[in-house]
Structure 1
């Protein structure tokens, strides 16, 4: 009996479809398309229920995670590449520091960080996404969730992380990086380190931010300091640990001050 291994396959949330059942577009594409007529009046309200279900699934699976760090990077990086090996070292260092590692669950740098965490005895999380081309969760993921909608997945990356570490990557990595920077810049998330790992890759971007954005007044003078850059995975983890320690100390001091104020008021 010959197995049909060449059929196209796609994950859609908790489902797998193959062959002729693979649609021509993804759920994200259909959500963002603006069809003619008034059909959207009847379709979009029902999509809200599916979106709600994805949020519930993500919250339910991730709510009891230990402190975690989200790692981004290219899916095209191969084992043996310096970026891949750096990802393995980073995942292991985060696990040793007591952090779970969250990635997009795919190959490349994502696989590397999941591998490092798993082999160091840490918790390895993969948050996948439905794409026009199949990209399955890598084998080093302990807990994996497949999402239909990018914006639901992005919420999970941020909500359950204490920091982001960004390895070299392409458009998707840049999208995730600048979304995180915007959330910190606008105060939507606080005490949230963003570390760029790979000086040679990221330094031209930092220089452009300073020479173009800052010099034209598009950002504030302190905004470039939101990005930390290093070649050392252990230094990246130390930045995250130190930030968490400062946040805990500030929270403790605030509680002491509040308790003192209450006591003096009575």
Structure 2
């Protein structure tokens, strides 16, 4: 079925003379197009949250079209047709007044979600709206990943939200992500602060010089933790000083996948695409599933360790059709501080994914492993 998610695309579809039969229309204000709808073939047409005039609504229902009505009073659209951007979520934020974050759509949605039961909404309708929203986000994310008809080479970097700007671990993630983005990999993360921010910062600076990156890191280190008042302001200052140039954007795009379940952590503004969910379980599983090019684990705590074994389960049973690399950055951390790697190595014995495990402190080894795996995938596809 054809999906139409913007008014411009709808008007272009009509102008081309194509039928509306078996077309999905998502989140459109169609109040000015009643005449066209009254005469259209609406066999199998689906209207998701569209605004329709009374005559149009009666006609589409009479012709057997399926209509999902819009919700009222929500600070978000359950039927949105695209991912979020930092500009949308942070609309109204003034870096000179960090407290202005409370007035942004991101903060307002989190406040609304919190006030209505958080992860346990009090009404079926509220729960339905959230699930429809998350379904729409997944659909929009799949469109971004199928870039110009060709799947992106998705690599995820996981790690702790408490990783501070200015730390060696933070810089290591930035430099790794920067190199991978420059090689054509599409970086994704959990979309929050710490190691997640470092992932997207690296992609943002994929076409910038080492000196520019050094200056940006020095500026960000003035507010090391996401709990610092100036944390978000410093990020927007870096964005303003080193904006994405049009010619660099294809190499510097990245995807953050945060959740309002952890809404006290603002989404980091260096991700060019933001797939923000209400349901953390959907977000976690989806993030690992799309990282078919491999997952890199930088130092983290309980959340990162949860992701390690969730990813291991996918690989152990090959539930997504691809067994992909699990790479651990930091030998001391993953064998002594959080001795996860020895257990995982034992668990993987006799299984295909054992040969895709890597424990290293070397950026070069990580890059080589991911390039080799990407070539392996291409060779499989060519057979």
TM category (shorter chain) comes to 0.7 to 0.9
Contact 2:110 2:263 in 1 (8 A): no
1:186 aligns with one of 311, 317, 322: 317
Residue matched to 1:53: 136
Q: State the Cα distance separating 1:230 from its structure 2 match.
A: 0.8
Q: CA deviation at 1:206?
A: 2.1
Shift of 1:156: 4.2
Partner of 1:74: 160
From 240, 248, 252, the equivalent of 2:370 is 240
Give the Å deviation of 1:132: 5.0
Q: Which runs of 5 or more structure 1 residues have no equivalent in the other structure? A: 256-266
Greater shift after overlay, 177-186 or 58-67?
58-67
Is contact 1:126-1:145 (8 Å) kept? yes
User: Corresponding residue for 2:115?
Assistant: 23
Q: CA–CA distance in 1 between the matches of 2:134 and 2:269?
A: 27
With over 3 angstroms needed to count, the CA separation of the structure-2 counterparts of 1:10 and 1:221, relative to structure 1, is farther
| SS class of match (1:137) | coil
Count of aligned pairs: 234
2:161, 2:192 within 8 Å by CA — same for their partners in 1? yes
Q: CA deviation at 1:90?
A: 1.0
Structure ID, larger Rg: 2
Q: Is the 8 A contact 2:134 2:277 kept in 1?
A: no
The CA distance in 2 between the partners of 1:68 and 1:30, in whole Å, is: 32
Q: Determine the C-alpha separation between the residues in 2 that align with 1:100 and 1:225.
A: 23
Q: Show the counterpart of 1:199.
A: 331
TM-score w.r.t. the length of structure 2 is: 0.53
Q: After TM superposition, list the pairs within 5 Å mapping 1:155-174 onto structure 2.
A: 155-159=286-290, 161-174=292-305
Q: Post-superposition shift, 1:236? A: 0.7
- 2 CA distance for matches of 1:182 and 1:236? 22
- Pairwise CA distance, 1:57: 3.0
Matches within 5 A, 1:244-259: 244-252=374-382, 255=383
Give TM-score, length-normalised by structure 1: 0.74
Instruction: State the structure with bigger RCO (CA 8 A, min sep 6), 1 or 2.
Output: 1
